[in-house]
Amino acid sequence: MVKVLVAGDRFILPEILLEALARHVPDAETTIIKGSWPVTPFADIGEVHEAEGDEDDLIRALEGCEVAFVHASPFTEKVIAAATPTLKLITVGRGGPVNINLDAAKKHGVTVSNAPGRNATATAEHSVAMILASVRQLVDRHNELVAGQWRGDYYAYENVAPEVRGSTVGLIGYGAIGSRVARTLHAMGAHVLAYDPYVAAADMPDAEKLDDLDELLRRSTILTLHPRLNDETRGMIGRDQLALLPEGAIVVNCSRPPVLDYDALADALDSGHLYAAAADVLPSEPLPPDHRLLHTPRLIVTPHLAGASRESAQLAAELGAADIARWLAGEPLKYALT
């Protein structure tokens, strides 16, 4: 019988992890802990990021556990070193497991698996919603109306919004999320341009592949960002890149904050070069009340909830439990990282 630490929170509930584990590993012995994220914000803990919990509490909970089935617990060098050699597998219900020190896991012989694509549908839907809300300026119009303003001049020809149908959308990153966004916008009648050096044109059925980022920017009236964060994509959209967009373009970021220079974005909105923008990921979370992004016109912000859906929590649990069963059976893991 394997002993499993089940560490959930207020999003991926321990009950959801336990239900999936019961389907795939019905005889597992479990220890359960529950964090309070997202009510308690993520934090940097030790050398890991977007984590929640206390290292010493986690070490105590891991006593005797061969497997950790977790979401946001901080698996630092300290935790992993203390939990081995008993701990053999960490299965984390996230696509980007930044709360796991993968180098430390590898050094101590701990296998790590994750749940890529668990929130791809939710994030793609949110991204499309942000594009539509930006084009139609839904937030500003709503706020004006509830404040008692009825602006009939918005129906004047010079003030009406363009349609997504017929627009040219530049999409950066054609992975699980980007490909879904492309499919939706293509179905709406947009012409989608895609930049992703790691995806072949033949695998982009809903987009025209471009190998020149500058060309994509010059042609895009809507730009939506979906790359993974790495050394190549960090800071890839800055002041110079935003200047290449056509006058009146729209920018949406539902990927990672460091992909985009937010000061440059706010400047481009203030100057009128950009028509509108939207972001679900922000340079600090939460933003301080006096942050300029909260006071920049034609900018919609949401509190990093693009991937939040019941289905994404359930899928994360299902993918993780299935990989735990494979590991116990001596089979190759489907989503191994180490």
Catalytic pick from 63, 285, 311, 331?
A: 285
Q: Is a pLDDT exceeding 90 seen at residue 41? A: no
Alpha-helix runs per DSSP H in 213-302 = 213-219, 239-244, 262-271
- What percent of the chain is modeled with pLDDT above 90? 95
Which residues sit opposite 185 in a β-bridge? none
- Model pLDDT for residues 172-190, shown as the tens digit of each residue: 999 999 999 999 999 999 9
Alpha-helix runs per DSSP H in 147-175 = none
The most distant pair of C-alpha atoms in the chain lies apart, rounded to whole Å, by 70
- Model pLDDT for residues 67-126, shown as the tens digit of each residue: 999 999 999 999 999 999 999 999 999 988 999 999 999 999 999 999 999 999 999 999
Catalytic residue check, 304: yes
Mean pLDDT, to the nearest integer, of 198-217? Answer: 98
If you average pLDDT over every residue of the chain, what do you get? 97
Catalytic pick from 71, 118, 256, 318?
A: 256
Do the Cβ atoms of 164 and 182 come closer than 8 Å?
no
Q: Is a pLDDT exceeding 90 seen at residue 224? A: yes
Catalytic residue check, 50: no
DSSP string, 65-114: -SEEEESS--B-HHHHHHHTTT--EEEES-SS-TTB-HHHHHHTT-EEE-
Mean pLDDT, to the nearest integer, of 296-301? Answer: 97
Give the chain's domains with CATH numbers: 3-118+309-328 (3.40.50.720), 120-301 (3.40.50.720)
The pLDDT value recorded for residue 96 is: 85
Q: Quote the DSSP letter at residue 270.
A: H
The pLDDT value recorded for residue 16 is: 98
- Model pLDDT for residues 232-289, shown as the tens digit of each residue: 999 999 999 999 999 999 999 999 999 999 999 999 999 999 999 999 999 998 899 9
Residue 251's nearest CA partner among 285, 196, 203, 296 is 296
310-328 vs 14-24: helix crossing angle, rounded to 10: 40
The pLDDT value recorded for residue 177 is: 97
Q: Is a pLDDT exceeding 90 seen at residue 226? A: yes
3-class secondary-structure state, position 171: strand
Catalytic pick from 71, 118, 304, 318?
A: 304
Structure tokens at 207: 């987009």
The burial class, CB within 10 Å (0-12 / 13-18 / 19+), for 284 is exposed
The pLDDT value recorded for residue 285 is: 86
Catalytic residue check, 318: no
Do the Cβ atoms of 75 and 12 come closer than 8 Å?
no
